[in-house]
Amino acid sequence: MPILLAGDVGGTKTILRLVEFSPPIKLQSQSLPVDALYEKTYVSASFSDLHLMVEEFLVEAGTQLGSAPSIKVACFGIAGPVVERRSELTNLGWSLNADLLETKLNIPTVALLNDFEANGYGVLGLEPSELSTLQTAVPHPKYPIAVIGAGTGLGEGFLIPENGCYEVFPGEGGHADFAPQTSEEYGLCQYLQKRDRLSHVSIERVVSGIGIVSIYQYLRDEVKLAPESEEVSAAFDAWRKGKETHTHPQSPAAAISKHAMLSQDVSTNTGEDNTDKKDILCERALEMFVQLYGSEAGNLALKILPYGGLYITGGIAAKILPLMKKGDFLEAFLNKGRVSTLLKKVPIHVVLNPKVGLIGAALYAARLGSM
């Protein structure tokens, strides 16, 4: 069987996978006609260019497999825009060109996809065990599929069924307006406008990793909801020092999410007073984040009516799954006035597999290799 190379290329790490596949391949829902042969994760900054990493990977793969693999097609999901088969990863100093990669790697066909586009194809290859369902409904194969994912930013896109398979179309919905609905959300919007001197506040500024931080800062500094814990304060101090020294430490979003989840665990205990263990600031910040996430997912769903399903990807949702399932997300998703009933027909799933982009790159490469 022919072999393909799939890659998930990020600023921090890159995952490469060799896959054996059986043509012809059609990108249909719940189809994964590929078998992984070898996979490895690399620190992206350890290489000056992607082709050098791939060359090392292929040598190692050949040693493991007993012979050098002959690759028919490759596809790389890139954490950045792809224009005319080119992509710039400025934080790595990489300038990727699919035509040059074909020549340097001696691979007949190389494709580059935006990472969120790869996520879109990836949802077609997920098993039921790799999903957590927030709203159960019967999927309709003739309707679109929507994908939304909060991580470093907010990605949005959709899949359209065509001739028995799907085509992915990435969008820039994360840069659409943040539309506050409550006095608390209006206050958050005004806080961001004033603090960051913004004439336009996008939804990505509140539904993303940095959005969690901004919501927390608003509740801490403007609303003065509760005192800050020592642990979260230390996370903010490390973050500030890292920005000053350009060492890029972990965002306080991780600490806020961690303490929100711990606070949520305390809230579910009964029969004892755990008030002193709760982190009200972190808990409320994540509650607001989840509500805003649900509201924006509902906005996306209204625009394309994805009765084929709405999939929530990105690096955040799966990590805060208990809060996503608590009900605030779905309540905000459905809070669309007189057309709310339309959204009750949309199947909603949180993607649990963090390698969905790698799966998408493999599926797309398999289709190219079948042409």
Q: Percentage of the chain with pLDDT > 90? A: 78
CATH, domain 174-351, list 3.40.50.300, 3.40.367.20, 3.90.650.10, 3.20.20.70: 3.40.367.20
Q: Percentage of the chain with pLDDT > 70? A: 93
Over residues 106-127, the pLDDT tens digits come to 999 999 999 899 999 999 999 9
Question: In terms of Cα–Cα distance, which of 136, 145, 159, 133 is closest to 352?
Answer: 133
Reply yes or no on whether the pLDDT at 81 is more than 90: no
Amino acid at 181: Q
User: Residue 271 — pLDDT band, cuts 50, 70, 90?
Assistant: very low
Cα separation, 118 vs 363, whole angstroms: 9
pTM: 0.91
Q: What is the mean pLDDT of the chain?
A: 91
What are the two backbone dihedrals, phi and then psi, of residue 78, each rounded to the nearest 5 degrees? -115, 135
Residues 93-97, mean pLDDT to the nearest whole number: 94
Question: In terms of Cα–Cα distance, which of 113, 29, 38 is closest to 77?
Answer: 113
Cβ(324)–Cβ(311) below 8 Å: no
Reply yes or no on whether the pLDDT at 140 is more than 50: yes
Q: Taking the CB of residue 252, how many other CB atoms lie within 10 A of it? A: 24
Q: What is the location of CATH 3.30.420.40 in the chain?
A: 3-126+354-370
Reply yes or no on whether the pLDDT at 48 is more than 60: yes
Cβ-proximal residues to 26 (8 Å cutoff; 6+ apart), any chain = 164, 165, 367
Cα separation, 36 vs 280, whole angstroms: 45
Residues 229-250, mean pLDDT to the nearest whole number: 87
**Orientation of helix 98-105 relative to helix 50-65, angle to 10°:** 40
Q: Please tell me the CATH superfamily of domain 3-126+354-370, with its number.
A: ATPase, nucleotide binding domain (3.30.420.40)
Q: Taking the CB of residue 26, how many other CB atoms lie within 10 A of it? A: 15
Q: What is the location of CATH 3.40.367.20 in the chain?
A: 174-351
Strands of 3-9's sheet in order across: 34-43, 13-21, 3-9, 71-78, 109-114
The conformation of residue 177, written as its DSSP 8-state character, comes to B
Residues 218-241, mean pLDDT to the nearest whole number: 95
Over residues 292-346, the pLDDT tens digits come to 999 999 999 999 999 999 999 998 999 999 999 999 999 999 999 999 999 999 9
pLDDT at 39: 95
Residues 142-165, mean pLDDT to the nearest whole number: 92
